[in-house]
C-alpha cells in the first residue's frame, strides 16, 4: 500500500496515518511531502497569521521558512498531536527569526539616523522615539512598490529572485529600484533631521 493510499485524509476530521506520512517524508519521498503540503498548508498558514497578528506577508515568509525546516528536520512521528506540536515549534522559531531580521534592519536605520543628529539633540529624552517616527515616516513616503521591495529585502530577507518573481520585474530591475529606494530613504531621513535641528 503506497503513501497516498495510507495517507488519504483531505477532509477535516479524517484520521491520518502520521507514522506512514512522516516516515516517508524522512526518507525523502517527494509524494509524501506533496501530501503533507495538501494536508497542512492552510492550517499552518492560519497559525502563522495568528502569530504575525494578521500580517499576511510576514506569515507567508515565516510559513515558507517553516516548510524548509520541515524538509531539513522531519523524522518519524507516531501520532498527529505530537507531530502538530513539533510543527508549531518550527512555526514559532521561524516567526521569531523573521522578526529578528526585521528588528535588525530597523535598528540599522535608527542607528544611521542617530549618527546624523547633533550631540545636543541626541541628549533629548525623546530622541529614540522621535527617530523611530522619522524612519517610519520616511518609509511611508516611499513609492508603494519601493517600500515593498525595501521591506521584502531587509525586513524579510527575501532574495532578489524571490522579489523579482513577486513583482514581475527582472532581478536587475529589482536591484536598481532597491538602490534608488535606499538613496531616497536616506535623503528623506537627512531632510527630516536637518529640519529638526533648525526648527
How many Cα neighbours within 13 Å face the side chain of 19?
Answer: 2
Q: Which of 12-21, 95-104, 145-154 reaches the highest mean pLDDT?
A: 145-154
CB atoms within 10 A of CB 47: 21
The rounded distance, in Å, linking the Cα atoms of 20 and 17 is: 6
Q: For the chain, which residues make up each domain, given as ranges?
A: 3-98, 116-198
pTM higher than the cut 0.95: no
Given this model, what pLDDT does residue 138 score?
A: 84
- 7 near 23, Cβ under 8 Å? no
Alpha helices in the chain (DSSP H): 3-6, 18-26, 30-51, 56-73, 80-115, 119-122, 127-141, 144-150, 160-167, 171-198
Phi, psi (rounded to 5 degrees) for 73: -120, 0
CB atoms within 10 A of CB 136: 12
The rounded distance, in Å, linking the Cα atoms of 109 and 147 is: 14
Given this model, what pLDDT does residue 154 score?
A: 73
* 137-161 per-position pLDDT tens digit: 888 888 888 888 887 777 767 788 8
* 110-131 per-position pLDDT tens digit: 666 666 555 444 444 455 666 7
Given this model, what pLDDT does residue 21 score?
A: 93
* 53-98 per-position pLDDT tens digit: 887 877 888 888 899 899 989 999 988 999 999 999 889 888 877 6
The rounded distance, in Å, linking the Cα atoms of 94 and 36 is: 18
Given this model, what pLDDT does residue 114 score?
A: 62
- Which option is the CATH number for 3-98: 3.40.50.2300, 1.10.1740.10, 3.50.50.60, 1.10.760.10? 1.10.1740.10
Task: Categorize the per-residue pLDDT at 190 as very low, low, confident or very high, splitting at 50, 70 and 90.
Answer: confident
- Cα–Cα distances in angstroms (integers) from residue 159 to residues 34, 154, 186, in the given order: 24, 10, 22
Give the residue among 153, 156, 162 at the shortest CA–CA distance from 185.
Answer: 153
Residue whose C-alpha cell reads 525523502 in the numeric block: 28
Query: Which fold would CATH assign to domain 116-198?
Result: Arc Repressor Mutant, subunit A (1.10.10)
Given this model, what pLDDT does residue 187 score?
A: 85
The rounded distance, in Å, linking the Cα atoms of 64 and 150 is: 19
**Percent of the chain scored above 70 by pLDDT?**
71
Amino acid at each position: 500500500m503506497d503513501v497516498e493510499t495510507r495517507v488519504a485524509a483531505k477532509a477535516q476530521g479524517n484520521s491520518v496515518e502520521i507514522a506512514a506520512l512522516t516516515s516517508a517524508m524522512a526518507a525523502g519521498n517527494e509524494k509524501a511531502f506533496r501530501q503533507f503540503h495538501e494536508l497542512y498548508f492552510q492550517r499552518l498558514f492560519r497559525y502563522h497569521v495568528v502569530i504575525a497578528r494578521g500580517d499576511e506577508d510576514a506569515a507567508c515568509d515565516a510559513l515558507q521558512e517553516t516548510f524548509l525546516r520541515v524538509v531539513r528536520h522531519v523524522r518519524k512521528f507516531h501520532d498527529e498531536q505530537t507531530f502538530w506540536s513539533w510543527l508549531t515549534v518550527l512555526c514559532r522559531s521561524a516567526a521569531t527569526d523573521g522578526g529578528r531580521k526585521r528588528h535588525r534592519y530597523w535598528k540599522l536605520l535608527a542607528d544611521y539616523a542617530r549618527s546624523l543628529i547633533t550631540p545636543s539633540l541626541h541628549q533629548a529624552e525623546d530622541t529614540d522615539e522621535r527617530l523611530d517616527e522619522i524612519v517610519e515616516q520616511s518609509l511611508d513616503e516611499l513609492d508603494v512598490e519601493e517600500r515593498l521591495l525595501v521591506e521584502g529585502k531587509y525586513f524579510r530577507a527575501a532574495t532578489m529572485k524571490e522579489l523579482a518573481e513577486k513583482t514581475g520585474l527582472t532581478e536587475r530591475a529589482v536591484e536598481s529600484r532597491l538602490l534608488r529606494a535606499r538613496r531616497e530613504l536616506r535623503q528623506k531621513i537627512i531632510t527630516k533631521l536637518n529640519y529638526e535641528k533648525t526648527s
